[in-house]
Amino acid sequence: KNQVEQSPQSLIILEGKNCTLQCNYTVSPFSNLRWYKQDTGRGPVSLTIMTFSENTKSNGRYTATLDADTKQSSLHITASQLSDSASYICVVSVRGYSTLTFGKGTMLLVSP
């Protein structure tokens, strides 16, 4: 069964600190992996998308890594800001299919 597991479930960090969110998946055959940011009361917004041939991709202070061999991804946030407080969702797609498999997200709170 295709699954995406994220850890931790929630995280509190101080403004200015770095943090790393984890994503493990069992989706096969793998096509691509996306990280979405979802602010409270809003729809998810794409941060990065990586295919199996990419092992890192950055979007400003967000850097995603992918290890297709171990089926793990991480999202690193550098110099966190209050506006980074949100839910971060890992999403994996299966090659040849249109549907996406979603993780349940990590709720990040950046505290002043």
Partner 1 sequence: DAGVIQSPRHEVTEMGQEVTLRCKPISGHNSLFWYRQTMMRGLELLIYFNNNVPIDDSGMPEDRFSAKMPNASFSTLKIQPSEPRDSAVYFCASSLTSLEAFSYNEQFFGPGTRLTVL
User: Which one of 51, 59, 78, 85 is in contact with partner 1 (CB under 8 A)?
Assistant: 51
Radius of gyration, CA atoms only, the chain: 13
**Interface positions, 64-93, toward partner 1 (CB under 8 A):** 89, 93
CB 68 to partner 1: min, Å: 15
Amino acid at 77: I
User: Which one of 32, 65, 73, 106 is in contact with partner 1 (CB under 8 A)?
Assistant: 32
Question: Degrees (nearest 5) of the Cα angle 39, 42, 48?
Answer: 60
User: Which one of 17, 97, 109, 111 is in contact with partner 1 (CB under 8 A)?
Assistant: 97
Residues making up the chain, counted from first to last? 112
At 28 the three-state DSSP class reads coil
At 52 the three-state DSSP class reads coil
Q: Which residues bind partner 1 (CB under 8 A)?
A: 31-32, 34, 41-46, 49, 51, 89, 93-100, 102-105
